[in-house]
Structure 1
């Protein structure tokens, strides 16, 4: 990813790699565009594969040395 001020550009290889993960960054030109693409991807994962999203969150937290908040449960 290349940054020039507030603009972003992805190489074709980066775009293809992210597309394989289900993240569409082809139209992302700013940080806000990238944030929206990642939020949409996380929302889809939360609906379709919540266990996978949780594994990703745990791995990211461990890599940063952070702890995750207590897991919330939904009461019906």
Structure 2
């Protein structure tokens, strides 16, 4: 699965793959594989990306076109 939205979110903020890789604590090569769909994104990284971009995991995964994140559940 190709994750064009990850690339779009990153480029909209004028960031490089190495910048996001640093946020996740991984190499730029691994992050590049995520964007191109050559490697599965671990849930922990998907959640970190959603938090970083202030969007939902469903938006990143292409399950919705609504980029606004879901409201936080109390106690989280």
TM-score (norm 1): 0.30
Structure index of larger Rg = 1
Q: TM (normalized to structure 2)?
A: 0.30
Structure having greater relative contact order (Cα 8 Å, sep ≥ 6): 2
